[in-house]
Structure 1
Amino acid sequence: MKAIIIGASSGIGRELAKILSKNNCSVGLAARNIEKLVELQKELPGYSYVRAIDVTHNSDAREKLHELIDELGGLDLIVIGSGVGYTSPIPDSWECDKKAVEVNVCGFMVIADEALKYFIKQGFGHIVGVSSVINERRNGTAPAFNASKVFVANYLEGIRQKVNSIGAKIFVTDIRPGLVNNDEVVKKDGLFLGIPPEKAASQVYKAIVKKKKYVYITKRWSFLSWMLRLFS
């Protein structure tokens, strides 16, 4: 299998790259930080290729995505995990909110759209996007970030309906993580708080193999999301 991970420099993306590589997958590693990608590449047992991609540079991101596909010699799976999260302090919220939309909405669309066109032409493929459990509830401290993740979930569902309508053998998986301990999130103890990115990535890999439509990371968040819907 040949896979590309957008957002492979840290967190779930980094750990998922390791799992895919251990399972005989050639991996394309993409993020803005090329140095971190090169460091990760040295840890992988299988074939891997790196490319610095900034999803906010739309035409450049499309071009570099295809360069990475060419290096891999094709593409079966793309995981779109790049994203930013900011709180939005009043009255200085505009720049934070704007960045969240540029990366999490427009940047996501650029990669997903280009991958979808490639897979439709090819006749098969698998698109995996990372939304969030916060799809179920709004948050006044980071409204643009929350809205961007709702967009990702809805956009993935729209893609799924589109490919089903044309009978294409293209799978779409929505990953909905809760709190994950990574470089941006302070590690905390407690049952309902963060989990290590290694554990999250392992569950993502299982969802990919099973070609699930969506999965909560971890499963406990499916119950919590139901509770949020019930009391919101």
Structure 2
Amino acid sequence: MTPKAAAAKAAAETNRYSYIETMKKAIVVGATSGIGKELAILLANNNYQVGITGRRSELLAELQELKPGKFVASVFDVTDINTMPQNLTKLVNELGGLDLLIISSGTGDLNPSLDPQIENQTNAVNVTGFTAVADWAFNFFEQQKSGHLAAITSIAGLRGGRHAPAYNASKAYQINYLQGLRQKAVNLKLPIFITDARPGFVDTPMAKGEGLFWVASPKKAALQIYRAIESKCKVVYITKRWRLIAFIIKHLPGFLYNRM
């Protein structure tokens, strides 16, 4: 290789690493399918280096193949709260930093018979796992003095629901927890932003039951969530028309709501 060619190659490598360093860094917890997967793709298309997590390694590998070099995968379960912090720390080190963490992992099922196994699994993911990830992220951003935590909760968290009691209750927990973290950030006087994305019905396996309406595609839901994150919105309903339903749910008298 001639000296000129060697110099050109060295310059190209320097530019490549410089570009990687200037890219924003994000982690999507629960990126194997649905909204989480679409958000990961959107971030990768918008100058983010993205850490993707989930329980199913084959689905994370498929996502990596879509955008070679843009994703760093980590296989773990959010309910394993003993190893989760180490996994996230390792992922941040591989990314070279962290600007944004999105909690997209979640579960829930119709449970008219109040099967304890369904309720306990819902709480394990949506409460215990969610709390562990949210706390890790907030502590990281507090130490860093900046950052953005976003989470996909649900309009179901506004009131209780007879079809899936643990799901509604766990989403109410998430909504209130995020509000607590937002208040904590303000009290600390730090630029740590908290975004609470509350979808209605989205065309994923999570959407169960009859009479579903205003069902959004995962891509449309992800795009609106991404825009809300970029705008640093505190609360956003997905899709936007669900704000009307949220208003009705909040203000419907209890004696009427209980008959639904």
Contact 2:112 2:162 in 1 (8 A): no
Amino acid at match of 1:197: P
Which of 161, 169, 191 in structure 1 is aligned with 2:191? 169
Contact 1:21 1:46 in 2 (8 A): no
Sort the Cα spacing of 1:57 and 1:170 in 2 relative to 1 into closer, same or farther, 3 A.
Answer: same
Give the structure 2 partner of residue 217 of structure 1: 238
Give the structure 1 partner of residue 25 of structure 2: 2
Structure 1 stretches of at least 4 aligned residues deviating more than 6 Å after TM superposition: 186-190
- How far apart are 1:69 and its partner, in Å? 0.6
CA distance in structure 2 between the aligned counterparts of 1:94 and 1:223, rounded to whole angstroms: 33
After superposition, give the CA deviation of every residue in 1:11-46 in whole Å (9 maximum; x if it has no partner): 110001111101110000001111101101111265
Which of 211, 215, 230 in structure 2 is aligned with 1:194? 215
Contact 2:153 2:171 in 1 (8 A): yes
CA distance in structure 1 between the aligned counterparts of 2:45 and 2:210, rounded to whole angstroms: 29
Which of 158, 169, 175 in structure 2 is aligned with 1:136? 158
TM-score by length of 1: 0.95
Amino acid at match of 1:169: P
CA distance in structure 2 between the aligned counterparts of 1:134 and 1:62, rounded to whole angstroms: 28
Larger radius of gyration: 2
Give the structure 2 partner of residue 61 of structure 1: 84
The 5 Å alignment of 1:8-157 reads 8-44=31-67, 47-90=70-113, 93-157=115-179
Amino acid at match of 2:38: E
CA distance in structure 2 between the aligned counterparts of 1:220 and 1:202, rounded to whole angstroms: 15
Contact 2:110 2:208 in 1 (8 A): no
- How far apart are 1:137 and its partner, in Å? 2.6
Q: CA RMSD in A?
A: 1.7
User: Higher relative contact order at CA 8 Å, sep ≥6: structure 1 or structure 2?
Assistant: 1
Amino acid at match of 1:193: W
CA distance in structure 2 between the aligned counterparts of 1:36 and 1:226, rounded to whole angstroms: 37
The 3-state SS of whatever aligns with 1:86 is coil
Contact 2:30 2:36 in 1 (8 A): yes
After superposition, give the CA deviation of every residue in 1:57-105 in whole Å (9 maximum; x if it has no partner): 1011111111111110110000001010112232x51111000110000
CA distance in structure 2 between the aligned counterparts of 1:42 and 1:19, rounded to whole angstroms: 15
Amino acid at match of 2:60: L
Amino acid at match of 1:7: G
TM-score by length of 2: 0.85
Percent of aligned pairs sharing the same letter: 42
Amino acid at match of 1:152: Q
Contact 2:31 2:53 in 1 (8 A): yes
CA distance in structure 2 between the aligned counterparts of 1:188 and 1:198, rounded to whole angstroms: 22
- How far apart are 1:231 and its partner, in Å? 1.4
The 5 Å alignment of 1:172-187 reads 172-185=194-207
Contact 2:72 2:91 in 1 (8 A): yes
CA distance in structure 1 between the aligned counterparts of 2:252 and 2:138, rounded to whole angstroms: 36
CA distance in structure 1 between the aligned counterparts of 2:115 and 2:47, rounded to whole angstroms: 44
CA distance in structure 1 between the aligned counterparts of 2:36 and 2:126, rounded to whole angstroms: 15
CA distance in structure 2 between the aligned counterparts of 1:180 and 1:139, rounded to whole angstroms: 18
Give the structure 1 partner of residue 7 of structure 2: none
CA distance in structure 1 between the aligned counterparts of 2:42 and 2:68, rounded to whole angstroms: 10
Aligned length: 230
Unpaired segments ≥5 residues, structure 1: none
CA distance in structure 2 between the aligned counterparts of 1:9 and 1:183, rounded to whole angstroms: 13
